[in-house]
Structure 1
Amino acid sequence: MYKRAELEILHNRIHESRKHIQVIMGPRQVGKSTMVRQLCDGLVIPYLFTSADAVAGSDETWLMQTWESARLKMKTSGAIEFLLIIDEVQKIINWSEVVKKLWDEDSFNKLNLKVVLLGSSRLLLQEGLTESLAGRFEVIYLPHWSFMEMHEAFGWNAEQYAWFGGYPGSADLIDEESRWKRYVSDSLIETSISKDILMLTRIDKPALLKNLFEVGCLYSGQILSYNKILGQLQGAGNTTTLAHYLHLLGTAGLLTGIEKYSPTTIRKRASSPKFQVQNNALISAQSAQYFDNIQANPVEWGRVVESVVGAHLVNMGIKEGFKLYYWRDRNDEVDFVLEYNEKIIGLEIKSNISKQQKGMDAFRRKYNPNKVYIIENRGLTWQELLKLNPLELF
């Protein structure tokens, strides 16, 4: 079974002295639970692995009972240390306050009970961590699978990854693409929206949120104002509602809005978003096109390529901590701007012959970036870019 690089990080932290709660977060179906089971298979430390997935959302008692069970197991086994693992912890209302209370009790009593928490709702996890558990946790972010991971685990080439995305659980179905589309739509998209957004956050217009997701996927890699989007959506709404819903879709690992680059924070936030899926499977599963014929259309395939590069940059940005933007000034545009450690670089994806690159010259004159890259067949290709950690570009 394929082991992601984050497994070694988690393994090393678990074998350190008890310092922090380890929090593993990331989208659904990226292997968080599988990674923890792989950890458990090689553990000498006794452990308890349980999930809040089937627990009533208000049941704080369950969380306290589970923690107490771990304490008792540690005591009866005579172990000098014990590991408690709780999956989907964000489903317990007020979970962070309960965890804080129990963790602090163990610290005061010098009980060597180590804790790992897993969750797929990045928004709810981060809110609980920052509000109640400051100074008590470390985060391991598990993003969507990269091209190199899908290549090493399943032998995929870059073109397959660009179309089928990075969901390992669907990899065996791509030879039956109609079946693959149904699986991704029903088991991944619908579940993520329902369980990570609608069940956990107050949504006044759920149909509008789902409609926004569908339109955002359709226009992945394109810049659209919220007012223009409203004209294509069914159901009343306003730009503030759309921005909020797009933020929720982003924290669920589905669809995000990339801001326009500007040295001024206010201008960044006031900009029209560049829609970007975090996994290209979200586009392909809803498309009437199929892998066998999509590459014959240079314009459509070019959009797929630009979107898969954007998805790679979004996921790596969350994981590695660099910021991702686009830039546009009138008719001049740069596909992606990366900012890290007070350095900026520009990336232009030349995915088809007709695409112009005059925007990069205007961007260089205005901001004097540290580096610029034109991704094309004659230089650094998009296939090669998918193999890189973007920090290597700086």
Structure 2
Amino acid sequence: MYEIYNTFADCRKVLIDRLREPAPGRIQLLTGPRQVGKTTLLLDLAAQFGDRTVYAAGDEPDAALPGFWERRWAEAEARAKQGTAVLLLDEVHHLSDWAGRLKGEWDRARRRHINIHVVATGSSALRVATGSRESLAGRFERLTLSHWPAIGLADAFHLSPREAAHDLVRFGSYPGAVEFQRDFARWRAYVRDAIIGPAIGRDVLALGVVRRPALLRQVFAIAAALPAQIVSLQKMLGQLQDSGALETVAHYLALLQDAYLIAPIEKYSPQIHRRRASPPKLVVLNNALLSASHPNGAPDPAREPERFGVWVENACLAFAINQGQQVLYWREEPLETDAVCDGSWGKLAVEVKTGRFDVQALRGLLEFCRRNPAFKPLVITAPGDEETARRNGIESISWEDFLIAGPPGK
């Protein structure tokens, strides 16, 4: 299990509190997507704790030189003689045998009562999680700084919450990209060069289990072109320029999820094996990836209402996933429910309707809830259309309010 934080301030507070505990405490492993503020957070911690900190980045050129690891630990131990030291290891998964080395040093610090706290970050969930499970069992606490929600953008950039919700649908929520939104070409270059390229070309490929990088990039491109769509792996395979096995495509989708890019959500079924046998619904975990990948950028709600509605649905589903909810979908032809959520929000069956609709359009939602009465129906609508669902006894919320604060009563 791990803790998910969607705001920089919340994650910062937790880490500061833990670094003030007696040392050596549990290693703090901070994972999360690229460009959400992990390095900024470490540098903020360095400023907070001043001369007691040692900062090292695993993706710096000198990290590959002999003795890099030993020098950083020696420096931290020297500072620990003056009081509690804090060792900050950024992008730790780029360091060779990082988990085994960290285990050895932490165990030694415990035996010798060396007052060192450790915070390590990584942009690859699989590499950090695998390494920590294999070598650091019982020695770490894992936190995830997830994709920013609309309210995080509003607070950080002094936007109204509704303006932030609209920006999230059109431009996503990478904080470093906000300053470039008025220059779309520059904004797109930033997202591609600072996020998509490194996430696929470094974080995923560094796993050492990608034998066909070109095929991986094609799988990402197809998924980004089909947000919130149920797509069979056979159909994806037919669109690929390079041939590949279904197992390879499924494996690459899983790797893209570990890199915080794409979530292939499963079909709801009480039988787990039936979930995994069904075609996935592709959710792009940050709408910036949609705008950067689409030739025309973000849709105009007035001229492209259908495409805009798909982007709103994707943003709502991505928000739920990034908030730590388990998100599935349900479909039994001709009936369908956009999302089935289970987690801290409770059990929800969700339908997203950004255009005009009537109760007939909610047949799938109502049928799912009839069969599964533990789930409560929720309709996410265009602003002003909430009463259409409420008149039929179904709780509803506008997509703006949902992206700002989540479901009613959460």
- On whether the aligned pair clears a TM of 0.5, the verdict is yes
Q: How is 1:121-132 mapped onto 2 (pairs within 5 angstroms)?
A: 121-132=124-135
Which residue type is aligned with residue 384 of structure 1?
Answer: D
Listed as ranges, the gaps of 5+ residues in structure 2 are: 1-6, 387-395
Q: How is 1:274-353 mapped onto 2 (pairs within 5 angstroms)?
A: 274-291=281-298, 293-317=300-324, 322-340=325-343, 344-353=347-356
Question: What is residue 137 of structure 1 aligned with on the other side?
Answer: 140
1-structure distance, mates of 2:306, 2:44: 42
- Secondary structure at the residue paired with 1:209? helix
Question: What is residue 74 of structure 1 aligned with on the other side?
Answer: 80
* Cα shift readout 1:8-64 (whole Å, capped 9, x = no counterpart): 111111111232001111010000010122222222671101111125887784223
1-structure distance, mates of 2:300, 2:349: 32
1-structure distance, mates of 2:215, 2:78: 48
2-structure distance, mates of 1:60, 1:325: 47
Is residue 258 from structure 1 mapped to residue 265 from structure 2 by the alignment? yes
Change (3 A) 1:183 1:361: same
Question: What is residue 160 of structure 1 aligned with on the other side?
Answer: 167
Is residue 364 from structure 1 mapped to residue 381 from structure 2 by the alignment? no
Further displaced range: 339-348 or 224-233: 339-348
Deviation at 1:150?
Answer: 0.9
Q: How is 1:6-155 mapped onto 2 (pairs within 5 angstroms)?
A: 6-18=11-23, 19-43=25-49, 46-55=52-61, 61-75=67-81, 79-154=82-157, 155=159
Q: How is 1:211-290 mapped onto 2 (pairs within 5 angstroms)?
A: 211-290=218-297
Which residue type is aligned with residue 179 of structure 1?
Answer: R
2-structure distance, mates of 1:275, 1:57: 37
1-structure distance, mates of 2:99, 2:192: 32
* Cα shift readout 1:323-363 (whole Å, capped 9, x = no counterpart): 11111112211111111379522111112226922111110
Deviation at 1:228?
Answer: 1.1
Scaled by the length of structure 2, the TM-score of the pair is 0.89
> Does the 8 Å CA contact 1:258/1:326 hold for their aligned counterparts?
yes
1-structure distance, mates of 2:132, 2:89: 15
Change (3 A) 1:267 1:370: same
Which residue type is aligned with residue 151 of structure 2?
Answer: M
- How many residues align? The count is 385
Listed as ranges, the gaps of 5+ residues in structure 1 are: none
Further displaced range: 99-108 or 183-192: 183-192
2-structure distance, mates of 1:295, 1:159: 14
Runs of 4+ in 1 over 6 A off after TM superposition: 56-60
> Does the 8 Å CA contact 1:162/1:305 hold for their aligned counterparts?
yes
Change (3 A) 1:61 1:272: farther
Is residue 193 from structure 1 mapped to residue 204 from structure 2 by the alignment? no
2-structure distance, mates of 1:209, 1:393: 40
- Secondary structure at the residue paired with 1:253? coil
Deviation at 1:3?
Answer: 4.9
- Secondary structure at the residue paired with 2:239? coil
Scaled by the length of structure 1, the TM-score of the pair is 0.92
1-structure distance, mates of 2:366, 2:220: 34
> Does the 8 Å CA contact 1:346/1:360 hold for their aligned counterparts?
yes
> Does the 8 Å CA contact 2:299/2:307 hold for their aligned counterparts?
no
Question: What is residue 379 of structure 2 aligned with on the other side?
Answer: 374
Is residue 383 from structure 1 mapped to residue 405 from structure 2 by the alignment? no
